Structure 1
Amino acid sequence: MITFPNAKINLGLNVVEKRPDGYHNLETIFYPIRLQDALEVNRLEDSDLPYKFHTTGTLIEGAPEDNLVIKAYNLLKTENYELLPVDIHLFKHIPTGAGLGGGSSDAAFMIKLLNEKFKLGLSEEKMEAYAARLGADCAFFIKDKPVFATGIGNVFEPIELSLKGYYLVLVKPNISVATRDAYESVKPQHPEVSLKEIAKQPVETWKDCMKNDFEYSVFQKYPEIAAIKDKLYDLGAVYASMSGSGSAVYGLFKEAVENVDEKFGECFCRQRELE
């Protein structure tokens, strides 16, 4: 059985306040995009091992047991669901360290796949609860629809928002940004206008009012990321932003950009018409 975990972009991101537990409350909009990994799970016959894990595509660092796909499997296993031994193959295409939620998506889709394969009977709400235990934004990928996210990025409110017909140009330089570093120069404050209200305005107006608070500190440390955003506007984007804490940057265009791969050198670059 195979499934295709997809990425997301952040439309705006406001760091609202620091919490007593050291984390930060924020508000952002998660929007799914069809940049995908591939995740396949098959029965593992005649094996004493609970699973075998293979990865191809982009190199994934770390031990297998630290991968969110395996953490999702082990979570359901410890909850006493009857999971037979499985052979897991993850083809990694979504860039890591990019602010695109690729690892979180892999975990959520693993929960959905195991639920279907082994007929566990889990509701979407139950799967969301399990996914939330693996990461703040993991639960978003269970329903995989646009949401206004608050809390630490784990409280979701569905919103009516469609970017259908726009072209997305996504650029990921050969840089990974640690979320901790991105918070260094951020001064939490409540926005004068909520992103939920800004998103109701025409996309062409977002440039002046929809901000990502992480850009200030990240652009100071990595001016080449700031340069990508500027270039997207030079190419005609109606809105451009870094996604999450970076390092991926995207632009929304009314028309497809010709020869876009050639314009960003050795960066990972993809163009998609949004659905």
Structure 2
Amino acid sequence: MLVFPNAKINLGLRITEKRADGFHNLQSCFYPVGWSDALEVIPADTFSFTSAGLPIPGDLDKNLCVKAYNLLKADYDLPPVQMHLHKIIPIGAGLGGGSADAAFALKLLNERFELGIDVTQLEDYARKLGSDCAFFIRNEPMYCLEKGDVFEKIAVDLSGYYVLLVYPNFAISTAEAYAAIKPRQPEIALREQLLAPIETWRTTIHNDFEDSLFPTYPLLAEIKQQLYDADAVYASMSGSGSTLYGIFNAPVIVPNQFKYYSVWQSKL
């Protein structure tokens, strides 16, 4: 079986407080986009995991797809499989690619071997793999709270708009992004701001990581401004970076300034 784990963007990201467990609470809206990896799982005599495409740092045996398989195998009689991941979504880009791979692995194994795990249970398994993973089980726009793994439905629909994602070909680690963050409670909840017309978002919807990362990486601020110069209705950094995105009313002619970067665009 072959599936295509997709990325997400953050519509706003507020870091509201540091938790006792060392993580942070946040407010954000996760919105799925079509930039995708490819993950194949087929029965095999022994378990194996291979990858192609973008190089994946670290030990492949510790890949989240492998962890997803082992997590289910601990509770179910899973046969050995061959897993192959073709990596396309940039790593360390704020797009949740690794989390999507893990969540789709859970869903694929559940379907392929008819394990009968419902959506809520799959989300619980996904939370054990990472804070963003559970979002990709339902894979629909969600207002996210706590570590980004508690969800509320939200009536945000960008159908008909176009999105342009710009990855400047360098990653930002989660640890680096959080090192300089200063949590604070917003005066107005992000949910309320997101329900206003998108034309208002430029002055109201904010990603808190921009405050700490733009001074260190001024190129990111330049790209955001270039997206607005190209007539984006709204532009922002996604997650903890380093991808910037713009939302447009019409298909985008990619500016020449972006020709050296990794760029993806589509209708939402």
Same fold, TM exceeding 0.5? yes
Using the TM superposition, name which of 184-193 and 121-130 deviates more.
Answer: 184-193
Matched, 1:178 2:176: no
1:33 corresponding residue in structure 2: 33
- Residue of structure 2 equivalent to 1:167: 162
Q: Is the 8 A contact 2:230 2:255 kept in 1?
A: no
SS at 1:138 equivalent:
coil
CA distance in structure 2 between the partners assigned to 1:145 and 1:114 by the alignment: 20
Which residue matches 1:137? 132
Is 1:117 aligned with 2:116? Answer: no
- Structure 2: where are the runs of 5+ without partners? none
Whether the 8 Å CA contact 1:198–1:206 is kept in 2: the answer is yes
For 2:257, the aligned partner's letter is K
* Matched position secondary structure for 2:30: strand
Matched, 1:194 2:189: yes
Unaligned stretches of 5+ residues in structure 1: none
Matches within 5 A, 1:28-107: 28-44=28-44, 47=45, 49=46, 51-79=47-75, 81-107=76-102
Cα offsets for 1:55-95 (capped at 9, x unmatched) = 1111111112211000000111112x111111111111111
Counterpart of 2:221 in structure 1 is 226
For the Cα contact (< 8 Å) 1:185–1:216, is it kept in 2? no
SS at match of 2:179: coil
Q: Percent identity?
A: 52
The amino acid across from 2:249 in the alignment is K
Find the aligned partners of 1:118 and 1:67 in 2 and give their Cα distance: 21
CA contact under 8 A between 2:49 and 2:61: conserved in structure 1?
A: no
Distance 2:141 2:8 in 1: 9
State the TM-score, normalizing by the size of structure 1: 0.95
Which amino acid in 1 is paired with 2:25?
N
Kept in 1, the 8 Å contact 2:29–2:141? The answer is yes
Distance in 2 (alpha carbons) for counterparts of 1:26 and 1:207: 20
**CA–CA distance in 1 between the matches of 2:201 and 2:255?**
25
The TM-score normalised by the length of structure 2 is 0.97
Between the aligned partners of 1:263 and 1:186, the Cα distance in structure 2 is 29
Instruction: Name the residue aligned to 2:262.
Output: 268
Structure 1 residue 107 displacement after superposition: 0.4
Aligned counterpart, 2:150:
155
Q: Distance in 2 between matches of 1:36 and 1:220?
A: 30
- CA-atom RMSD, angstroms? 1.0
Q: Report if aligned partners of 1:71, 1:134 keep a CA contact under 8 Å in 2.
A: yes
What displacement does 1:184 show?
A: 2.9
* Pair 1:6 & 2:2 matched: no
Question: How many residues are aligned here?
Answer: 268
SS in structure 1 opposite 2:231?
A: coil
